[in-house]
Structure 1
Amino acid sequence: MTDTEPLPFVEAVRRSLEIEERGAHVRTALTLTCNLALAPAQLWPLLVDRSELAHWYGQLNGSLSEGGRYRLADGTQGQVLELVEPHKLSLTCEKDGEADPLQIRLDPEDDGTTSLRLTHTTLIDREDFDRYGPGAAAIHWEIAVMALASRTGGWSTCGDCVPMPTPQWLEGPDGAAHLQAWSVRWAAEALAAGVDEASARRGELATSRACQEDPPAMAGMTPEG
């Protein structure tokens, strides 16, 4: 994989990937884990309160109560499957006819912080997976986790002030460095999950190039965050 400069905000997140071949599709389960400085009860409103979500993820319409439905500005919608306050949120992300499961767990640590574990399972067209690997789907969640860390005072493992990954930040040099680093990390996860090195490298370069040409952003997030 391409070498990148050490970036503390990138290293604060742990990643894992599972891949399952399904004919014309590839099923991927992306998991991001990090430690946030707040306790689960303090973090919980940021996941289920629409006014709080608007500050770090984007505008949401609908209800984030169990059984409720929601809709985002980019057209993604879904249903809340399970709420276990303040530890577990399970819902679907529905777009382009697919209903992908998303689960977020908040587990307390002995020092009063929280271990956050986000798992998104999705079907990717074989052609898209061969071109981009898992990175195109994963970087959206990298940005989301970074935005949440920025909103909540940072990661417990990283003392630096975490910037909000607004569109303007992502288009700048720091944002570009993070987008490249995330592409590298997910190519490495693809390699560990069984993708051959040439394909993983191709996916890394294609994801990085796509991010440079059209930096991703959270749905509805304003430039001010």
Structure 2
Amino acid sequence: MTASAADPLVDAVRRTLDIVPGEDAFGVTSTLSTNLAPAPVRLWPLLTDPAQLVQWYGPVTGDLREGGSFRAPAASGRVLEVEAPHALHLTWEYEGRQDDLLLRLDPVDDGSTSLELVHTTAMDPGVFAQFGPGALAVGWDLALLGLAAFSRGWEDMCGRPVPLPTPQWLASDEGRGFLRAWSIRWAAASTAAGTDPDQARRGEIATTAAYGGASPAAV
């Protein structure tokens, strides 16, 4: 599948970046925004109940109440603040680093939810130069696709079922096309935030390859 063929689902998410370059680290805030059909009160358990999380995200254990700690696939963290069913503020800890993660769910007049995910991290300048923000942000694209598939949150908007991003799907032509399309979108957002276009393009290619997406010649 080409990147353009994936557009209806890829562009169900809006992506923006705030990048603060530095010698020791690049401060990167990635914001992903989307609309999902279920109301906040219906989406909230999918984000906070381990029995629901395992069905679309993966096994999450621990206490997801305010002040609690948890362990998720490839990360752990602490719950800093909860405003059910509208806000979940966490630390996101992995590879010796501690990032800030905020999820906001706001009701829309038609009964749906406006969801915003904000991830703030400090990236090593060398990693940023090689991969750009997509090295981390594409992982959140995968998570939102899983949430949309499980909640059926994009079906009316996109006019078709949303694929659940299983390992088998990611290895398929469709999955690799999505990975490449996400990398393209993050490179564009990085350019809009001030990154040199050639560097952003190199990061796009490296991120696509790192996630196992299709090479430019294959799409």
Q: Given the two structures, how large is their TM-score scaled by the length of structure 2? A: 0.93
- Tell whether 2:93 aligns with 1:99: no
Q: Note if contact 2:130-2:206 (Cα within 8 Å) is conserved in structure 1.
A: yes
Q: Give the C-alpha shift of residue 92 in structure 1.
A: 0.4
Structure 1 unpaired stretches of 5+: 215-225
- After the TM superposition, list the runs of 4 or more consecutive aligned residues in structure 1 that deviate by more than 6 angstroms: none
Provide the aligned C-alpha RMSD in A.
Answer: 1.4
2:167 pairs with 1:167: yes
Q: Does 1:134 align with 2:133?
A: yes
> Residues 114 and 213 of structure 1: is their aligned pair in 2 closer, same or farther, counting only changes over 3 Å?
closer
- The question of whether the paired residues in 1 share the 8 Å contact of 2:180 and 2:213 is answered with no
Q: Does structure 1 retain, via aligned residues, the 8 Å contact 2:177–2:213?
A: no
- Match of 1:22, SS state, is coil
**1: distance between equivalents of 2:204 and 2:19?**
16
Q: Give 1:1-225 correspondences, 5 Å limit.
A: 4-7=3-6, 8-74=8-74, 76-155=75-154, 157-212=157-212
Distance 1:73 1:132 in 2: 22
* Larger relative helix fraction: 2
How far did 1:5 drift?
1.6
Q: Retained in 1: the 8 A contact 2:175–2:213?
A: no
8 Å contact from structure 1 (residues 94, 100) kept in 2: yes
CA displacement at 1:158 relative to structure 2: 1.9
TM-score normalised per structure 1? 0.90
Q: Report the CA distance between 1:213 and its aligned residue.
A: 7.0
Q: Number of residue pairs matched? A: 211
State the partner residue of 2:217: none
The 2-side partners of 1:117 and 1:29 are apart by 12
SS of equivalent to 1:38: coil
- Give a deviation string over 1:180-222, Cα, whole Å, max 9, x none: 00000000001000001110111011111112279xxxxxxxx
Q: Deviations over 1:91-126 (max 9, x none)?
A: 000112211010000000000000000000011111
